[in-house]
Structure 1
Amino acid sequence: MLRAVAGSSAAVLGALAVALFLLLLTLARDAALPARNRYGLVFDAGSTHTSLYIYRWPAGKENGTGIVSQVEACSVQGPGISSYADNPAGAGASLKPCLDKAMEVVPAEQQQETPTYLGATAGMRLLREQNSSKAEQVLAEVAKAIGQYPVDFRGARILTGNEEGSFGWVTVNYLLETLIKWSFTGTWSHPPAEDVVGALDLGGASAQITFLPGTPLSDSSTRALLRLYGTNYSIYTHSYLCYGLQQALKMLLASLPQGNSSSPQISHPCYPRGYQENTTTAELYDSPCVQAPSTASPAESLTVTGTGDPAACSAAIEDLFNFSCGANQSCGFNGVYQPPVRGAFFAFSGLYHSLHLLNLTGGQPLSVVNATVRQLCNSSWQEVQEKFPTASSRQRRDACAASSYTLALLLHGYSFDRSSWPHIHFVQQVANADVGWTLGYMLNLTNMIPSEAPQRVVGLQRSSWVAATVLLTIILILTFCLLTAVCCQKGSSGYERL
């Protein structure tokens, strides 16, 4: 009898070992399987150019954080889509090379489920103000072009300035994981509000400032209310139309006095000494941000000559802003309400590029930045060419004006000073993703940032949990049988001894 019980116990133990082996094998197999990825495409149709961003994330983890990665960025050849106002079909055609590239990146079997968006910014906002029907035609043509590809196209639209600022803020804080953070205990936690950073964006036609203020906002038009991961955010955001870099430099050139001779001359204090170019009044006043005088003749030729005068350059740029505020009101410029800047800021797009050319994006003190820009603005055209041999002619010409405008916008427009300057971080990427509004836009439209915080992290695939549950049930049954057999063995042995 003892031998029989021992045999049954051995059988149970053997079955138990097999069950454990099958459990480990199932979990190991699922762990080894590559996670299925999902993709998203977003066109950033800016005022001067268009870019396509291709994003990827693990399927089934849309409500996580820090899991979306940028696979690739494709720069569309040619100007921004607003430049195709008189040739709308050209705007759509310009997107096709980047769409072809995306079809090479996204697996064919997943293309039809890939959400695809096009967001247009200040260039199209200006075109809509000038001619709304032309703006609609351009949007219709780009939508038609994207619709020819096997993707889940969800529309082309013009973003408001506040949307552009808010989505840029979401992007940078999502990538930095300052909205929510995962701990190794399998729970989510909210970092303190002090960790949330502000966003400073400078495009070609508009400039955005967005941050979490320290006090309640007194102007509702500058407030955006967001609920992300179970936390409410009341952020300050404002977009200054026409104060993007390219439009600001157009306003600057048009504001400079013209000579009274038969061949008008413009002395440009921000252009290098010895630089000269010819333009026409038609080109000078071809923007809705620049008001042409009634006496201007479109065909009139103008000669622009650089004088390389740092003080005059700064003064001319500051004249583009109205720094006066109403009584007892805190404002940025042009009378727009703005609370005092607070906390750390990430500055990107034109703000980064204008200072990166001068190697000034490494956290240099404001005194060093000012001295470097002043030295550049005092340079001759030949010196500038030698200093930036790989830059384009336009970049060299505008290097002083762009960096001077960046400083004027930050220091005088937004009221940063020597104490807050070190808190500005000039970046192009965070976590290997380009910083801008596109990622925040996609996260919002795909509902990948939930309003409520995730309660836990699911670490195994559904198949793994099913297999584990079944096999653990078998193990418990076998263990029960083994314990029953052992108890019976002990009872029998005790009886025989009696």
Structure 2
Amino acid sequence: MEQDRAAAYAIVVDAGSTHSDVILYKWPGAKVNNTGEVVQVSTCYVTGGLAQVTTSNVSSYFKECFGRAEGQIPPESQATAEVLLGATAGMRMLNSSDPSQANKAIASVRDYLRTTDMVVKESNVGIISGSIEGISGWITINFLKDTIYSAVGHLNSSWGALDLGGASTQITFEVSESMHSHPLVTKLKLFGHQFHVFSQSFQCYGVVQAGLRYKALLLQEHWNDVSGPNQQPLNSPCDPFGRKILLTGDDFQTPCLKSINLASKIMESHRNYSFLGTGNYSECESYAKRLLDLTQCRATGWDKCINGSSIPDYVGDRKFMGFASFAYVANALQINKTTTKSSFLERAKRLCSLSYDKVLEMKLTDKTNFKDLENSCFKSLFVYNMLSNIYGFNTDEKWTNVKFTTKISHATLGWSLGYMINATDKIAAGAGVPTLRTVPFALLLVLFAMFLIISIGFVMHGIKLRKSSSYQRQIATRMDEEIVKFITPQSHHHLQNQNQPNGGYS
């Protein structure tokens, strides 16, 4: 039995490369085998990545969202409510290129959080690894799909997780215990059960960084055309026909590009670049393939390359959930959760053929589904080749194992919920009166109901028997009365004869 108390609350900040999400969670004070059954209460969106946060702007960055979240925590739970902040790929990149700046940003955030009414532990605020991000996303999916319990001992019952952000991508799935010594396999204990989970993260292969790499390839190939005094717009096959894009050297200031040839020149702040969309599907796919090819990546000079051969051969045997930009791209292609490999590609071809005017018209018609449609030709072909050539979904049959979605049961998919669930075993439950855990209590309730039904059955059967016995007794009594009436006169006459003198007969 656990201790019953007021619900526990915590705020998790998902600090991504382009924005942050401030999410309020709660769970019953009584845990299930030391793990809290967490539910999402609310979420708040903050524009801009954490890398841009400084001491002077950190308050304005977080104030509105934290004010909303703290206002939803009941008074009796405020004293123990914790805050956890995980900075992801954007800060991982900054930390690799400028550790001092990354440390300053995290310190500014930590100092601000201490001005709130939340419990702030130094170890709960920092940069998380790609592996933790992937594993936490896996926990989120399998908790919401209710397979954390049913998947125990059945590898193919759990869902794999495919995450695609702005700066990195992660693939995560459960493996057998025999792989426990693999360097990318982590042992988890959730709700009293153990899982062995493989997770691999690829830095610089999120859609934003991949898009910059694509543009950098164009600049490398046509440097003489864009660096001279008579600069002309550079044709961009992955952008809608007629779209004009202006970028500067500052836009390419990212660690994912620093190692390439001509990087120092491309990143010069005074430079301006003009691109003109041509909407050419075949040329765009060629660039998408180059970005994901290990040999060509190394030849280009990039130090962060993707290698699909490092992923165990378990992918095609199980179901996967593709969320974040995997789902956003599917949404732009008007794919309802699942599709085949060939259908995905055909939809991508049609999207790449759209003119920029048509794209703008579609965005005005449906702002929700097509909010980033102008970049979706490149993104869809990048996703297609990543799933096919890196993650192993290279047939129609395997492709249908992937479900694209952003939510399950109204809860947003991401790493933060799983991160919160995994952290609940470190957040102590308060004292109170003993109470039964959810699962045993439900079992006892079912047993009690069965006992009640059986008891009612016995009572009804007993009443029926009693009614039947009463009727039989009435019949027996009536028969006795009739027999008595029949035999009584004869018995009286016999007794009279016995009392007469013998002289009556000689």
| Cα deviation code 1:98-156 (max 9, x no counterpart) | 11001221113311211210010011111111111111111111111111111122331
Q: Is 1:70–1:432's contact at 8 Å kept on the other side of the alignment?
A: no
When structure 1 is superposed on structure 2, of 35-44 and 118-127 the one drifting more is 35-44
Contact 2:155-2:176 at 8 Å conserved across structures = no
Q: Supply the AA of the counterpart residue of 2:42.
A: E
> In 1, Cα distance between the equivalents of 2:222 and 2:424?
52
- Return 5+ residue gaps in structure 2 as ranges: 297-304, 429-436, 444-506
User: Are 1:383 and 2:358 counterparts?
Assistant: yes
Q: Distance in 2 between matches of 1:103 and 1:215?
A: 42
Give the counterpart letter for 1:44 in structure 2: D
| Structure 1: distance between partners of 2:426 and 2:24 | 16
Could you say if the C-alpha distance between residues 105 and 406 of structure 1 is closer, same or farther in structure 2, counting changes exceeding 3 Å?
same
Residues 412-431 of structure 1 correspond to what in structure 2 (within 5 A)? 412-417=389-394, 418-431=396-409
Q: Is the 8 A contact 2:51 2:91 kept in 1?
A: yes
- Give the direction of change, closer, same or farther, for the CA distance of 1:240–1:371 in structure 2 (3 Å limit): same
Aligned position for 1:457: 440
> 2:239 maps to which residue?
271
Contact 2:27/2:36 (<8 A) preserved: no
The residue number in structure 1 matching 2:30 is 60
| TM-score, structure 2 normalization | 0.74
Letter in 1 for 2:66: L
Distance in 2, matches of 1:242 and 1:235, equals 23
| 1:71 Cα offset (Å) | 0.9
What is the deviation of 1:62? 5.0
Residue 48 (structure 1) aligned to one of 6, 11, 18: 18
CA distance in 1: counterparts of 2:173 and 2:427, whole angstroms: 19
Moved more, 66-75 or 404-413: 66-75
Change (3 A) 1:38 1:455: closer
Q: How does 1:83-162 map to 2 (within 5 A)?
A: 83-84=52-53, 87-154=54-121, 155-162=124-131
- Secondary structure (helix, strand or coil) at the match of 1:419 reads helix
User: What residue in structure 2 maps to residue 350 of structure 1?
Assistant: 325
SS of aligned partner of 1:59: coil
- Please state how far the C-alpha of 1:365 moved relative to its aligned partner: 2.7
Which of 45, 55, 58 is residue 75 of structure 1 equivalent to? 45
CA distance in 2, matches of 1:148, 1:244: 34
**Residue in 1 aligned with 2:374?**
397
User: Could you tell me how far 1:168 is from its partner in structure 2?
Assistant: 0.9
Counterpart position of 1:164? 133
Letter in 2 for 1:169: W
TM-superposed deviation, 1:49? 0.4
1:321 equivalent in alignment to 2:292: yes
Which residue among 172, 180, 187 is the counterpart of 2:149?
A: 180
- Could you tell me how far apart the structure 2 residues matched to 1:361 and 1:394 are? 17
User: What amino acid sits opposite 1:457 in the alignment?
Assistant: P
Measure, in 2, the Cα distance between the counterparts of 1:191 and 1:317.
39
Aligned length: 407
**CA-CA distance at 1:65 after TM superposition:** 7.4
Q: C-alpha deviations, 1:280-324, integer Å up to 9, x for none?
A: 2332x2111013614444312211010100111111011012256
Match of 2:248 in 1: 280
- Bigger radius of gyration: 2
Gaps of 5+ in 1: 1-33, 182-188, 326-331, 461-498
Q: Distance in 1 between matches of 2:250 and 2:24?
A: 39
What SS does structure 1 have at the residue aligned with 2:393? coil
- Give the whole-Å Cα distance in 2 for the aligned partners of 1:312 and 1:275: 16
> Residue 436 of structure 1: CA displacement?
1.1
Query: TM-score if structure 1 supplies the norm length?
Result: 0.75
Equivalent-residue separation in structure 1 for 2:95 and 2:118 (angstroms): 27
For residue 120 of structure 2, give the secondary structure of its aligned residue in structure 1.
strand
> 1:214, CA displacement in angstroms?
6.1
- The Cα shift of 1:92 comes to 4.4
- Partners of 2:152 and 2:265 in 1: CA distance: 60
Aligned to 1:290: 257
1:365 paired with 2:335, answer no
Residues 309, 99 of structure 1: CA spacing in aligned structure 2 closer, same or farther, 3 A cutoff? same
Provide, for residues 424-460 of structure 1, a one-character-per-residue CA deviation record: whole Å limited to 9, x for no partner: 111211232211111111122221799xxx8962479
Provide, for residues 151-202 of structure 1, a one-character-per-residue CA deviation record: whole Å limited to 9, x for no partner.
1223311001111111111111122221215xxxxxxx94732211100111
Per-residue deviation, residues 362-414 of structure 1 (Å, max 9, x unmatched): 32333222111100101111111122224499713202111221112111121
1:442 alignment partner in structure 2:
420
Give the Cα separation in 2 of the matches to 1:370 and 1:238.
26
The separation in 2 between residues aligned to 1:89 and 1:108, in whole angstroms, is 30
Contact 2:32 / 2:191 at 8 angstroms: preserved in 1? Answer: no
Corresponding position: 1:334 with 2:307: yes
Deviates more, 1:54-63 or 1:92-101: 54-63
Residue in structure 1 matched with residue 492 of structure 2 by the alignment: none
Distance 1:449 1:317, change over 3 A: farther
* Paired amino acid for 1:129: S
The two structures, once aligned, show a CA RMSD in angstroms of 2.9
2:174 aligned to which of 168, 192, 212: 212
Work out whether residues 92 and 141 of structure 1, in 8 Å CA contact, stay in contact via their aligned partners in 2.
Answer: no
- The worse-fitting range, judged by mean Cα deviation, of 195-204 and 290-299 is 290-299
- Which secondary structure does the structure 2 equivalent of 1:303 belong to? strand
Partner Cα distance (1:334, 1:196) in 2: 25
Measure, in 2, the Cα distance between the counterparts of 1:139 and 1:92.
13
Indicate the percent of aligned positions where both proteins have the same amino acid: 29
Q: Which residue of 1 aligns with 2:201?
A: 239
Equivalent in the alignment of 2:217? 255
Secondary structure at 1:246's aligned position in 2? helix
Aligned match of 2:281: 310
**Residue equivalent to 2:485:** none
User: Can you list the C-alpha shifts for 1:53-77, whole angstroms capped at 9, x where unaligned?
Assistant: 111222223548794211111111x
Q: Secondary structure at the match of 1:89?
A: coil
Distance in 2, matches of 1:335 and 1:406, equals 14
Distance 1:214 1:62 in 2: 24
Taking the aligned partners of 1:191 and 1:233, their CA distance within structure 2 comes to: 9
The alpha carbon displacement at 1:82 in A equals 1.1
